[in-house]
Each structure stands twice: as C-alpha cells, then as structure tokens.
C-alpha cells in the first residue's frame, strides 16, 4: 500500500521522483561540504585564520546537520542514498569547495562564500517546488535555507567588511532553525 504521506503530496502536484532527486543531490552537497570545510577550517591558520576558524566551524557542523536532517525525509518519501559513495559525491548539487591552490584566508573565504551561495540557490529551489504542496519538505528546506542565508552573509561580511548581523552561535554549530529536525 503506498504511503499516504506520498499520495497526498502527489495529489497536490509533486513529482516524488523529481523531489527525491533534488533532496539526494542536496544531501550529497552537504556531505561534500562537511568534508571540505574540515579541510578549509584546518587551513584557516595563523592570526588571520584564527579570526575565522570558529565561524567556519559553525558552518561546517550546521552543513553536516543539514545532511542529517535531509536523510530521514528521503527515506520517508520512499527514496534512499546511493550504495556507492563515489556516485553520491558525483551527483552533488554544488561544486566541491576545495582548498584553493594558494590557501590565503581571502581565497579560503571566497571558496566558502561560493559554496554557501550555491546552497542558498538549492534550498530556494526546493522551497519553491514544495510550497503549498509538501508542507513537511517545505518546512525542512526552509529551515535549512534560513541557515544557508546566514552562512552566506557571514562569509560575505568577513570578505567585504559589510555587516551581516552575525553574532556568534550559543554553541558551535547550534543550527537554530534545523535543530528541531535532528534526532540526536
Ligand atoms: Fe547546508
Ligand atoms: Fe551552509
């Protein structure tokens, strides 16, 4: 028997296969981001690097939280993660935020900013697609979007000096919007 959860969103106009593709690609991008942000945070070294290290850590943990929050929804919708990590990474919806060849703090911040800009586009698109049709996925992607918009603004502030409204999280990677979706 099909899950009522799937029937009702299909009746509202959602193509579940298309939505699952969007969610799995977004989860892959979060997984990849978490890995590369680990690298970027470690290379945020020296006095200049120390100034951004905690902020990179907040974004790193929150992006990992986004992966964790997306996975249960993928399975609820009848989907699954690929049983091949290389394949999973290949389908990520954003380019890999690699450590730049010349890893100055400015260059690292540019990589971070580009990654967050891509994430803002990804979740804006999922919100647009699910709005009024799939309240649970919409609520989840909106919560993630709130955090991605903040991440983008933080890195833009660090790069340009333009205020973003940033003040530190209460705890590292607090995820003020996404935490309600996390099981642990
Ligand atoms: Fe994220
Ligand atoms: Fe992010």
Phi-psi group of 132: left, alpha or beta (phi > 0 → left; psi -120 to 50 → alpha; rest → beta): left
Whether 183 shows a pLDDT value over 90: the answer reads: no
Whether 184 shows a pLDDT value over 80: the answer reads: no
Q: For residue 30, give the ligand nearest its CA.
A: 1
Q: How far is the C-alpha of 183 from the C-alpha of 69, rounded, in Å?
A: 8
**Ligand 1 centroid, distance to 29 Cα (angstroms):** 8
Report field, pTM of the whole predicted structure over 0.85:
yes
**Ligand 1 centroid, distance to 37 Cα (angstroms):** 11
What CATH code is carried by the domain that includes residue 21?
A: 1.20.1260.10
Q: For residue 59, give the ligand nearest its CA.
A: 2
Give residue 133's domain range: 4-181
Q: For residue 116, give the ligand nearest its CA.
A: 2
Q: For 79-88, which contacts have Cβ atoms below 8 Å and span 24 or more sequence positions? A: 79/20, 79/23, 79/24, 81/24, 81/27, 82/24, 88/24, 88/28, 88/31
Average pLDDT rounded to a whole number, residues 34-39: 98
Q: How many other β-carbons are positioned within 10 Å of the β-carbon of residue 102?
A: 8
Residue 131: pLDDT band with limits 50, 70, 90: very high
DSSP string of 96-165?
--PPPSS--HHHHHHHHHHHHHHHHHHHHHHHHHHTTT-HHHHHHHHHHHHHHHHHHHHHHHHHH-----
Tens digit of pLDDT for each residue in 144-179? 999 999 999 999 999 999 999 888 899 999 999 999
**Ligand 2 centroid, distance to 59 Cα (angstroms):** 5
Q: What domain count does the chain have?
A: 1
Average pLDDT, the chain: 97
């Amino acid at each position: 028997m099909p899950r009522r959860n799937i029937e009702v969103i299909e009746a509202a106009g959602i193509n579940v296969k298309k939505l699952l593709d969007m969610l799995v690609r977004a989860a892959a991008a979060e997984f990849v981001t978490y890995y590369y942000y680990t690298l970027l945070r470690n290379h945020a070294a020296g006095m200049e690097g120390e100034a951004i290290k905690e902020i990179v850590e907040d974004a790193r943990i929150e992006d990992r939280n986004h992966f964790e929050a997306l996975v249960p929804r993928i399975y609820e919708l009848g989907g699954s993660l690929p049983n091949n990590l290389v394949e999973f990474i290949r389908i990520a919806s954003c380019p890999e935020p690699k450590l730049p060849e010349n890893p100055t703090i400015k260059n690292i911040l540019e990589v971070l900013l580009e990654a967050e800009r891509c994430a803002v586009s990804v979740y804006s698109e999922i919100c647009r697609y699910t709005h009024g049709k799939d309240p649970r996925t919409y609520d989840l992607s909106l919560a993630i979007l709130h955090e991605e918009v903040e991440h983008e603004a933080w890195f833009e502030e660090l790069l340009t000096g333009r205020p973003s409204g940033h003040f530190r999280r209460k705890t590292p990677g607090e995820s003020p919007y996404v935490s309600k979706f996390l099981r642990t």
